[in-house]
Amino acid sequence: MSTIKPKSSIATMVSYTPNHGGAKKPGKVIRLSANEGALGMSPKALAAMHSADPDLHRYPALGASRLAEAVGRRNGIDPARIVFGCGSDELIQVLCLAYLEPGDEAIYTQYGFLVYPMATRIAGGVPVVAPDDEYTVSVDAILNAVTARTRMVFLANPNNPTGTYIPQEEVKRLRAGLRDDILLVLDAAYCEYVTKNDYDSGIEMVESHDNVVMLRTFSKLYGMAGLRLGWAYGPKEIAATLESIKQPFGVNSLAIAAGIAAVEDLAFQEAVLESNNKWLPWSVEKFTELGLEALPTVTNFLMLRFPETDGKTAEDARRFLAERNILVREMAGYGAPDTVRLSIGTGEEMRDVVDALADFLGKERPAS
Ligand SMILES: *Cc1c(COP(=O)(O)O)cnc(C)c1O
């Protein structure tokens, strides 16, 4: 045994190893395991990356100010209060490092994003889980989980992996029910996909409070997961704190160049949404025809429930699909082993998935 031991707060940490399932065969892979946008990346963003080539021997621009201006313009928000990170994952960690003293509690939700409890532990804090209600975040359960040691609440809205959301009124009720010294982190990684009128990404909450931070990412709708780019929007003091402790060059030059072009490419963003708005309901309809239960979702992914019957379980399905190079996410780590999570790919990909699931279940392939 090594004499060098990690600090006690992380000793029990189960390492987060997203199982994207290896492809089984050479050839085309349908990767629906990580919620990445179906259409990949904007061609304009790709081109912008190529024109960044000559400057790659230089350190990236500090503060990524041109990107902040572009994101600020697109969202109608103050660029001076936007902080970029190496994915929003980095910002989750930096928030925990900045605001949790050892032993402080951070609340996350039952089927919440696993990065929250991990980042909490890394910072020396204690993650506290609030149960969901029917795979949906419960504001009452979060409020019930508050103790004198609570310093942060993480709310993914819409939530990953469930795909459900809570309306703006509920977020307001949550904020109103929390002490003022508890920081509310609204992770809106999938906000662009939501078409509900009673939803808000969190911009309004940030504008009207000094204790709310919103997180966004270029990994999903923008299809730039490999470039690692996310951002936080919050009160001036919090933005300054995050800026001062995060890695100065955590956001690389290619991500900055691509980010500016991507956020300005409205036509591409619309195409992504159009595709999702078409193939999400189509997929749900076909899954239902096959007798599978798709949990309600407002995002570009969904949880699909399988029977308990031997040979027909979620794990059996995941393996069967992997044999056909169709990768979906297993949910055992999230405590929902009877489901798999899959993202909505292109129409062609979704047809292949539906056909494969029909074969798996021994049913006729639905007409398309
Ligand atoms: C994918 C995801 C993120 C972030 O991702 P980055 O790639 O690190 O920007 C953050 N929160 C949730 C809920 C996500 O699903």
CA–centroid distance, residue 248 to ligand 1 (Å): 21
**What CA–CA distance (Å, rounded) separates 100 from 148?**
13
Question: How do residues 3-27 score in pLDDT, each as one tens digit?
Answer: 888 888 887 775 555 555 566 678 8
Q: How confident is the model at residue 79 (pLDDT cuts 50, 70, 90)?
A: very high
Residue where the block lists tokens 């003091």: 237
Look over the chain and give the mean of its residue pLDDT values, rounded to a whole number. Answer: 94
Angle at alpha carbon of residue 70, lines to 65 and 71, rounded to 5°: 95
More confident residue, 18 or 367: 367
The predicted model gives 155-160 an average pLDDT of: 98
Residue 52 has a pLDDT of 85
Q: Which of 95, 165, 187, when mutated, tests ligand 1's pocket best, judged by the most ligand atoms within 8 Å of its CB? A: 187
Mean pLDDT of 193-208: 97
Q: Is 357 in the pocket of ligand 1 (CB under 6 A)?
A: no
pLDDT interval class at 367 (50, 70, 90) = confident
Q: Write the DSSP assignment of 111-149 as a string of letters.
A: T--THHHHHHHHTT-EEEEE--BTTB--HHHHHHH--TT
Q: What is the pLDDT of residue 15?
A: 56
Of 94, 160, 186, 222, the one to substitute when testing ligand 1's pocket (max ligand atoms within 8 A of C-beta) is 160
pLDDT at 22: 64
Mutation pick for ligand 1 pocket among 20, 84, 89, 93 (CB with most ligand atoms within 8 Å): 89
Q: Are 42 and 221 in contact (CB under 8 A)?
A: no
Is residue 339 pLDDT above 70, yes or no? yes
Atom number in ligand 1 closest to CA 89: 8
pTM of the entire structure? Answer: 0.95
Closest residue by CA, ligand 1 atom 14: 189
- Measured by CA distance, the residue closest to atom 15 of ligand 1 is 160
User: Is 70 exceeded by the pLDDT of residue 363?
Assistant: yes
- Please state the φ and ψ torsions of residue 340, each to the nearest 5 degrees: -125, 155
pLDDT at 226 over 60: yes
Give the pLDDT mean for 308-329: 95
Average pLDDT over residues 207-236: 97
The whole-number average pLDDT for the span 230-255 is 95
